[in-house]
Chain A
Amino acid sequence: MTATLDRIVHPDIHYSTETGHRKIGLGIGAVALMIAMVVAGLGIYAASLVGSAGDEETLGQVVAIAFGVNTTALVLLKTAIAVILIGILVRIWIRVESVKASIAALKPDVDAGSVKTGDIDTAFGPATVSAKAPERLPIHKMANAMWGPMLVMGVMFVFAGLVVSWVWAGNVGTSTGLGARAWTQGLQFLGEGFVLASISFLLASILSGLREGGGEVQAALGVPVKTLKMPPTAKAFVVLMMMGLMIEIAQFGLYIYITTFDDVARYVLWSSWLGPLREFGLGLLLAGIILALATIATALGFQFSRIRDIVAAGK
């Protein structure tokens, strides 16, 4: 699995070739945005049915369909983002080859001398100096292996939930309808959580690519390999991501649990806080993504500073 995913992000192409990820990603996103417009129309139609005698069942059906389709549109947009992140990952590795080839020509020909290994402080945070490129961290190994399966499973859960939403729409006001509603909400938000986790793993893979690629370039040039230590934002990102994913798994279990309730009042009571709980889980995953992006910005700042040092001083 890891080897297949590694091949996807290391295609054998010329450095100037457009990989197509951007166009494919934005294409999927544009389709999803059009679906979202239809859902907005359904919402307005549903609002017009409120209070109309005899339209209660139609209202319930429209609400059910809109929920299923809206979550599907959202997961398509997140899939579009994942495709674009894969494109960034591909570009990061192409960039490594370009930097390696160019810096060799740009750097002054000086002897790097003996390498003093150990910890150093930089403007971007603590870093280590080594003679060789660093190994891939365990968290990066996991990220590189997991983004693909999480994406596929997440999309499958959301589409399974879309199908169940039709059962919900066809059984409004019955116990079957209530059960299908819980399954739809639980499944689709589990899927959303998995897709956001996939995006998080892709961001961690980008960080892994920057770390490994940076080390590879320095080692190839024969200069001391300076590598940024994991910043606090990266550690907090992992914590938020794990918390968010666990909440999404828990909400799925709890939604299945409420399908066993015979008492509608108890079902309504549990649903009243399960809805916000599933959103809270997604919120934590998204907050983690902010930190991952901030960490990428820090890592890039460090890399550019290191490239300039090598070009200016040759070591």
Chain B
Amino acid sequence: MTTTTHEFETETSTKALDVNVPQKAGRTLWTPAFAMSLVGFVAGMILAIVKATAIADGDAVLAASLNNYGIAAMFFGFTMVFTGISFAIARILGEFRVGGGRTQETAGSEVRTLKMPATAKAFIGLMAMAMMILMAAVIAHVVVGAQINSESMTLLDAEQWDLWLEAARRFAVSLYLFAIALGLGTIIYVIRYQSIRIREVANTT
């Protein structure tokens, strides 16, 4: 049984297409995102140790302030690590797009490239949403930490803010993971297309 690629939405060209804009960003930005994530995690851990010292010294205000700075640093790390994962997935999709196209071109066939599937569009949209929520929470934690330190916010208000921001952070992390699942799901779709397409090229060339 020979299966064709008609069920897939493709664009046809004579030459292989280059990476698209998100894939180009993925190629360039995964490394800085990786490096910044490590900076965030290490800074978050150091701030946690300093906070523990403040707790041991009985300085509740400093401890509450450092708690917010520590969470901000740690979740900056998480924002960057999920961004790095998303960019690395985009880079993989770029390799499939360019590699698949160039293989068809080398074989002397017309080049059929998959149009961006709905899962890939949702991946980008949800990733952007999650990143914005997480970054907003990180900034809010820094502001809360500064206000506690300057004693313009009570510890009770700070506790309330901590719970609000925790709710936002938790949801954003879940959203990010779902976006990553969509990105990886797109890879399955692309490999299935390519497995069918390469047989089609071999049968028609």
Contacts and interface: CB of A to CB of B under 8 A. Distances in A.
Contacts of B45: 276-277, 280
Contacts of A279: 41, 44, 74, 78
Contact of B106 (A47, A98, A311): A311
Contact of A26 (B37, B78, B82, B185): B185
Contacts of B187: 88
A310 B191 CA distance: 20
A98 to B, nearest CB: 4
A283 B77 contact: yes
A294 interface: yes
Chain B interface, >50% SS class: helix
A88 B106 CA distance: 26
Interface residues of A, number: 77
Interface in A206-232: none
A277 B48 contact: yes
B99 A300 contact: yes
B106 A308 contact: yes
B34 A290 contact: yes
A212 to B, nearest CB: 16
A277 B46 CA distance: 10
Interface in B165-205: 166-168, 170-171, 173-175, 177-178, 180-182, 184-185, 187-189, 191-192, 194-196, 198-199, 201-203, 205
Interface in A256-290: 268-269, 272-273, 275-277, 279-280, 283-284, 286-287, 289-290
Contacts of B15: none
Nearest to A69: B170
A183 B163 CA distance: 22
A281 B36 CA distance: 16
Interface of A: 14-16, 18-19, 21-22, 25-26, 29-30, 32-33, 36-37, 39-44, 46-47, 50-51, 63, 70, 73-74, 77-78, 80-81, 84-85, 87-88, 91-92, 94-95, 98-99, 101-103, 105-106, 268-269, 272-273, 275-277, 279-280, 283-284, 286-287, 289-291, 293-294, 296-297, 300-301, 303-305, 307-308, 311-312
29 contacts: A30-B178, A39-B171, A44-B167, A46-B167, A47-B160, A47-B163, A47-B164, A50-B159, A51-B156, A74-B173, A77-B181, A81-B177, A85-B184, A88-B188, A98-B199, A106-B201, A106-B205, A273-B48, A280-B41, A283-B81, A286-B81, A287-B38, A293-B85, A293-B91, A293-B92, A300-B92, A301-B99, A305-B99, A308-B102
Q: What are the nearest 3 A-B pairs in CB distance? A: A43-B167, A304-B99, A293-B88
